Amino acid sequence: MSDAPVHGLTTRGLNLWYGTFQALLDVNLEIPHGRITSMIGPSGCGKTTLLRCFNRVNERYGYVKTTGEIRILGKNIYDPDVSLIELRKSVGMVFQRPNPLPLSVYENVVFGLRIHEPGGRPGRGELDAAVEKALGEVGLWKDLKDRLQVRATTLQLEQQQKLCIARLLPLKPEVILMDEPCSALDVGGTRAIEDLMFELRGRYTILIVTHNMSQARRASDECVFMLLGRVIEHRRTEDLFLTPSDPRTAEYIEGRYG
């Protein structure tokens, strides 16, 4: 048996244009399965654009053109037989600000199951079990088990963001994308989300875009530094911060630009 790492996500020659502007240039990455990978770089360097390629959200804009490959578990997500609905079940996304649906906690968690379950009618027992399991995985079950009918938008921001993560889990995603998931949270909320990421690591491949150098260093196994649409360096986080191999990486993490 090979000891080579299992790559949950691979890009090959990935390019993206917004109209005539090329935002990503020949991106080649291998993201290991079950680890946390952070993406850092100055504003406008392509981090969020790259993140949104992994579930093809960028294609909602008619002026976007993409070339190259993205493989998730060996399958090119740009193949013509790929269902966007199935892809977005496998690749969930958490945004900068918590965006729970204006429904109860319970209905937020089961929303995806109701939509994606064949026939659209999962049984009550199945839904109840999914809610308990998902809320348990994100550390909310104890606090919310007697408040499942509370409107989700009334929860604390930290709880709302955890709920947004819990909402993904019943669909059994392979990858969880996080775009600045702590930017709206205080120090305690940030710590709670980072702790949750470590709890989920191993079961899910997690990619996080962050402008916070301390967070990237603290909360990821590997780190990708991007500049002007290119991947400059991708290494173990500790190595990238302590002994960057490219002077541009050193300049960025030392705060000399960006």
Residue 98 has pLDDT above 50, yes or no: yes
The tens digit of pLDDT for each residue in 20-67 reads: 999 999 999 999 999 999 999 999 999 999 999 999 999 888 899 999
pLDDT average, residue stretch 158-184: 95
Q: What does the H/E/C string look like for 59-72?
A: HHCCCEEEEEEEEE
Q: How confident is the model at residue 180 (pLDDT cuts 50, 70, 90)?
A: very high
Q: Determine whether 134 is exposed, middle or buried from the number of CB atoms within 10 Å of its CB (0-12, 13-18, 19+).
A: buried
Report how far residue 171's alpha carbon sits from residue 43's, in angstroms, rounded to the nearest whole number.
32
Report how far residue 178's alpha carbon sits from residue 38's, in angstroms, rounded to the nearest whole number.
9
Report how far residue 10's alpha carbon sits from residue 14's, in angstroms, rounded to the nearest whole number.
10
Q: Are 216 and 235 in contact (CB under 8 A)?
A: no
For the whole model, what pTM was predicted? Answer: 0.91
Report how far residue 92's alpha carbon sits from residue 170's, in angstroms, rounded to the nearest whole number.
11
- The average confidence (pLDDT) of the chain is 92
Nearest to 10 by CA among 237, 246, 241, 231: 231
In the block, tokens 């493989």 appear at 71
CB neighbours of residue 21 within 10 Å: 9
Residue 11 has pLDDT above 50, yes or no: yes
Report how far residue 75's alpha carbon sits from residue 88's, in angstroms, rounded to the nearest whole number.
14
- Find the range with the poorest average confidence among 45-49, 57-61, 173-177, 197-201: 57-61
Tokens, residue 203: 């079961």
Percent of the chain with pLDDT over 70: 95
Domain architecture of the chain: domains with CATH = 7-99+174-253 (3.40.50.300)
Q: How confident is the model at residue 4 (pLDDT cuts 50, 70, 90)?
A: very low
Q: How confident is the model at residue 256 (pLDDT cuts 50, 70, 90)?
A: low
Q: Which residues, 6+ apart, have CB-to-CB distance to 196 below 8 Å?
A: 138, 139, 162, 165
DSSP secondary structure, 172-232, as one string: --SEEEEESTTTTS-HHHHHHHHHHHHHHBTTBEEEEE-S-HHHHHHH-SEEEEEETTEEE
Please give the backbone phi and psi of residue 57, each rounded to the nearest 5 degrees, phi first: -70, -30
In the block, tokens 């173990």 appear at 236
The tens digit of pLDDT for each residue in 142-155 reads: 999 999 999 999 99
Residue 120 has pLDDT above 90, yes or no: no
